[in-house]
């Protein structure tokens, strides 16, 4: 099936070249298509790496190996296969990943553990080793390409290419960050897999890079949901080549650490929101701002309970200010809440305050807001200081069509 | 909107009269409709009661009061209001419930705490006290009616009436159980509320009745899901009038306790499954049998993760044996699992075993099974002895139409 471009799509931005990062793409033909589906990113020696992986108990070999590799802190290459997730393929799947790692390590004269591999696509079909080998060979000989080509090559059922960039000044040194991501389109039996990569020329110690990535993740990737279904392949990796020449960042007290974190956070937030904008069947982008919770983490959980509620998502799809369904979702979240202190608003207008509908509530401005594509929901629990923002999309006939009407 | 009768509907069964239980219905006109929407059940003095209530942190006053009332163990009446859930209505909502309790207590010469009240329908609109008072008056003067009329009167957007019965022999005494339930249809801004009631002429001590109801619930009502959205009003009550004359059951060692529990379990399971059969937009009834889990509770959680996955539900809607999505749902459940021991089957045919697709898997019989209305999925985790069955329905365009296309 051909998927129409998401109505929430944004143009692919100009991304800066990152010194120490060389992109190449090739046709491995993992599926019966004529497009680049293998991406090889060569990284300068001594590049630091940090990573986040799905918590799925059924993760792919790529994820299992990646979890171990990031502990070593060094990377020389990244390979992304599109069209086959290689998940649930047992030892044969693992052999394919190890073959790729060895092949690239041989060509770049590094350790196999310096080669990171991600795969996205069909579950249950071992990644064909012969196609992978030929694809790597072709990529090694290819001319370097730009961000847009690489972003297209890692995509599967994405309806638009997604990237983001930022800069930071570390002392006297200007550093660049560029990130790309794929995710949230799917055709049966493929799965929603989110693969995201952030590259920077800054010098950052691996342990601190991981610490900043974990912190940024908590406020970005961990705050989005399309359908609440966690992939077996979700991966976010951050690579720091150090080519900018700054004094390596090793902790929060270092000059420029806060500036770098702010830039990293901005890139992660943009990438995360872009995934939601390509959510299957999405017609509306929804920001849910939760305040007054017992803690930030509690606020995030409440926000995700609302964002994952099919009744809330269909209400928004229908332009219906159905705050009763929001009450329901808060109630089922399993977090501290007090019905009689709960307030709910849409687009800056409160519909209910302190556990009761507002007597002078005017539906007009709210209906106008909900008719748009950018929806804002405010939920105040009234019991503490915790707050969080969560992003999701609406649940529409498009979602059903994509996932039920077409056979694999 | 008029909802079409579910394709999974079954005829309303013949339910036995239960001695000590008198049903009456009346028109309170909580909504702008011409149908009975108030049900008054008079119970013989010394009727035992047990109850289950939503765990929602935003529960209605009916639920808050009911939680306290069941601790007293006695009931003389049940009032069910349809068309208004009275949830999220603050002190005005509570006043309405207390008025109903006092009015019925006055008429039946009992304590207000002996009068149980349930309400289902719109959230956020206080139950109108004048309509409730007039409705109770009318019900008190009405002729007794049968189960079918009472079941119709408690329904809201249900597309068919749901009831179940069973018998048990306690020593020399035959006892009858009859149950009715409403749930799972909805129109915006109403909410999916499930209200279920089981009546028996057996004599059962309240504490033991509660124990048996808790146990039956764990294997029945707690094992169904339509959309994972927990209502603010969910309630199940069991009433035992004692009119059969058996020696009161007080514990598992009493003669007939096992037989009574088996009958109670049967009624609860049938009622629970009937709710799924009326799930919004449902075209297929799905039983998910999970085995090999670390514990029964772990198996239930894995089953519910599968049953609540929109990707699994849409795959079944599309007749797609997409076991990759089942792998995903098992992986995200947060329960102990081992990818390399996981097996998945449909309709008695294994598609994957021990973490890998079966090489000789034949899709023909599975496709034929999935084309039907009654779907069976087997999931074996291969790590323990825990097992559970979970029931749900598919996710279709009908669900979106019901919840998004029509405005409140």
d(CA A406, CA A402): 7
d(C-alpha A383, C-alpha A330), whole Å:
13
Tell me, yes or no, if A59 comes closer than 8 A to chain B by beta carbon.
Answer: yes
**What is the per-residue pLDDT for B319?**
92
Q: A267 with A192, same domain?
A: yes
Q: Maximum distance among all alpha carbons in chain A?
A: 72
Would A4 be classed as within a structural domain?
no
Closest CA of chain A from B202, distance in Å = 35
Residue B6 is assigned to a structural domain of this protein: no
Considering the domain architecture, whether residues B128 and B271 belong to the same structural domain is answered as yes
* Residues B52, A332 contacting (CB under 8 angstroms): no
**Per-residue pLDDT tens digits for A82-91:** 999 888 888 8
- How many Å apart are CA B49 and CA B170, to the nearest integer? 19
Nearest CB to A328; choose among B231, B338, B399: B231
**A272 is in which domain, residue-wise?**
21-277
Neighbours of B130 (CB within 10 A): 10
Cα B354 from chain centroid (whole Å): 35
Task: Search chain A and give the residue with CA nearest B403.
Answer: A314
Residue A405: the pLDDT is 67
Q: Do B317 and A400 count as a contact with CB atoms less than 8 A apart? A: yes
CB contact under 8 A, B407 and A327: no
Which H helix or E strand runs over A83?
strand A74-84
Same domain as B148, residue B25: yes
B338 in contact with A, Cβ within 8 Å:
yes
pLDDT-based confidence at residue B51 (cuts at 50, 70, 90): confident
Residues of B in contact with A231 (CB under 8 A): 328
Domain CATH number, residue A175: 3.60.70.12
Chain A residues with CB under 8 Å of B406 CB are 318
For residue B406, what are the CA distances in angstroms to A297, A317, A320?
Answer: 35, 10, 9
B140 lies in the same domain as B251:
yes
Over residues B224-238, the mean pLDDT reads 70
The mean pLDDT value of chain B amounts to 87
| Residue numbers of B between 112 and 131 with CB closer than 8 Å to A | 122-125
**Interface touch A404/B318, C-beta < 8 Å:** yes
Is the minimum CB–CB distance between B328 and chain A shorter than 8 Å? yes
Label the pairing between strands A74-84 and A38-53.
Answer: antiparallel
Q: Are residues B271 and B391 in the same domain?
A: no
Cβ distance of B124 and A357 shorter than 8 Å: yes
Domain count, chain A: 2
| Kind of pairing between the strands at B285-293 and B374-380 | parallel
Q: Does A363 touch chain B (CB under 8 A)?
A: no
Residue B55 resides in a domain:
yes
B89 belongs to an annotated ligand binding site = no
Given CB atoms, is B89 within the 8 Å cutoff of chain A?
yes
How far is B294 from B280, CA to CA, in rounded Å? Answer: 33
Q: Considering only residues 166 to 185 of chain B, which have any Cβ-Cβ distance to chain A shorter than 8 Å?
A: none
A230 and A96 within one domain: yes
Q: Which residues contact B220 (CB under 8 A, 6 or more apart)?
A: B265, B268, B269, B271, B272
CB pair distance less than 8 Å for B310 and A335: no
**B17 Cβ partners below 8 Å, 6+ apart?**
B176
Lowest-confidence region among B218-222, B340-344, B380-384: B218-222
Q: Are B342 and B352 in contact (CB under 8 A)?
A: yes
Among A193, A200, A225, A241, the one annotated catalytic: A193
- CA distance to A127, B225, B317, B392, per residue, from B312 (Å): 23, 13, 9, 11
On whether both A257 and A397 belong to a single domain, the answer is no
Residues of B serving a catalytic function are 193
Assign residue B57 a region (left: φ > 0; alpha: ψ between -120 and 50; beta: otherwise): alpha
Asked whether residue B8 is assigned to any structural domain, the reply reads no
A167 marked among binding-site residues:
no
Is A11 among the domain residues? Answer: no
Do B64 and B181 belong to one domain? yes
CATH code, domain carrying B352? 3.10.20.340
Domain boundary among B261, B277, B293: B277
**Contact status of A324 with chain B (Cβ, < 8 Å):** yes
* B2 lies in some domain: no
Put simply, the answer to whether A123 touches B327 (Cβ < 8 Å) is: yes
Write down which residue in A254, A277, A300 finishes a domain: A277
- Residue B188 has a pLDDT of 23
User: Is residue B59 pLDDT above 70, yes or no?
Assistant: yes
Co-location of A222 and A334 in the same domain: no
B11 domain residue, yes or no: no
Regions of chain A short of the pLDDT cut 70:
1-3, 184-194, 226-233, 405-408
Give residue-wise pLDDT tens across range B100-149: 999 999 999 999 999 999 998 878 888 999 999 999 999 999 999 999 99
Query: Rounded to 5 degrees, what are φ and ψ at B361?
Result: -65, 125
- Picking from B228, B309, B324, the nearest residue to A88 by CB comes out as B324
B16 is a domain residue: no
Which of A89, A340, A408 is facing B90, going by the closest CB pair?
A340
Query: B191 in contact with A at a CB cutoff of 8 Å?
Result: yes
Give the per-residue pLDDT at A181.
Answer: 81
Chain B residues close to A328, C-beta within 8 Å = 56, 58, 123, 191, 229-232
Q: Token match 């090889």: residue?
A: A40
Q: How confident is the model at residue B229 (pLDDT cuts 50, 70, 90)?
A: low
Residue B342 has φ and ψ, to the nearest 5°, of -80, 135
Same domain, yes or no: B352 and B372: yes
Query: What is the per-residue pLDDT for B184?
Result: 58
**Is B191 within 8 Å of A325 when comparing Cβ atoms?**
yes
Residue pLDDT, tens place only, A25-66 = 999 999 999 999 999 999 999 999 988 887 777 778 898 899
The pLDDT score that the predictor gives to residue A8 is: 83
pLDDT of B190: 34
d(CA A73, CA A76): 11
Average the pLDDT over B165-176 and give the result: 88
Do B273 and B289 share a domain, yes or no? no
Q: Are residues A121 and A270 in the same domain?
A: yes
Q: What percent of chain B has pLDDT over 90?
A: 48
A400 and chain B in contact, CB less than 8 A: yes
B39 pLDDT above the threshold of 50: yes
A217 annotated binding-site participant: no
Q: Give the pLDDT of residue B186.
A: 37
Tracing tokens 């149950």 back to the chain, one arrives at B179
**Does the beta-carbon distance from B328 to A397 stay under 8 Å?**
no
DSSP symbols for B73-127? -EEEEEEEEEEE---S-HHHHHHHHHHHHHHHHHHHTS-GGGEEEEEEEESSSPP
Q: Which of B216, B249, B277 marks a domain boundary?
A: B277
């Amino acid at each position: 099936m051909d998927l129409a471009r998401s109505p929430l799509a944004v143009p692919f931005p100009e991304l800066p070249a990152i010194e120490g990062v060389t992109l190449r793409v090739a046709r491995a033909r993992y599926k019966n298509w004529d497009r680049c589906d293998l991406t090889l990113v060569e990284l300068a020696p001594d590049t630091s790496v940090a990573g986040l992986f799905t918590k799925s108990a059924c993760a792919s070999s790529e994820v299992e190996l990646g979890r171990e590799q990031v502990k070593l802190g060094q990377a020389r290459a990244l390979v992304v296969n599109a069209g086959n997730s290689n998940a649930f393929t047992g030892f044969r799947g693992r052999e394919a990943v190890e073959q790729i790692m060895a092949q690239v390590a041989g060509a770049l004269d590094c350790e196999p553990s310096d080669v990171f591999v991600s795969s996205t696509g069909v579950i249950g079909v071992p990644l064909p080793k012969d196609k992978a080998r030929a694809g790597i060979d072709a990529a090694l000989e290819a001319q370097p390409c730009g961000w847009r080509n690489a972003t297209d090559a890692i995509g599967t059922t994405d309806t638009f290419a997604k990237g983001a960039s930022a800069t930071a000044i570390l002392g006297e040194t200007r550093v660049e960050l560029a990130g790309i991501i794929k995710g949230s389109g799917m055709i049966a039996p493929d799965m929603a897999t989110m693969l995201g990569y952030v590259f920077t020329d800054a010098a950052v110690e691996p342990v601190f890079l991981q610490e900043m990535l974990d912190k940024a993740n908590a406020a970005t990737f961990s705050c989005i949901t399309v359908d609440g279904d966690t992939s077996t392949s979700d991966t976010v990796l951050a690579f720091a080549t150090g080519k900018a020449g700054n004094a390596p960042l090793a902790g929060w007290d270092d000059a420029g650490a806060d500036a770098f974190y702010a830039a990293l956070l901005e890139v992660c937030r943009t990438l995360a929101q872009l995934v939601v904008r390509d959510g299957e069947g999405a017609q509306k982008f929804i920001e849910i701002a939760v305040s007054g919770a017992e803690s930030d983490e509690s606020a995030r959980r409440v926000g995700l309970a609302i964002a994952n509620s099919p009744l809330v998502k269909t209400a928004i799809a229908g332009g219906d200010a159905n705050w009763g369904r929001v009450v329901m979702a808060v109630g089922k979240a399993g977090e501290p809440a007090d019905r009689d202190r709960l307030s709910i608003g849409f687009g800056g207008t409160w519909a209910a305050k302190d556990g009761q509908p507002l007597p002078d509530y005017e539906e007009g401005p709210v209906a106008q807001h909900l008719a748009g594509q950018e929806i804002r929901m405010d939920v105040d629990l009234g019991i503490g200081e915790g707050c969080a923002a969560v992003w999701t999309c609406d649940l529409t006939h498009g979602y059903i069509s994509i996932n039920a009407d077409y056979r694999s």
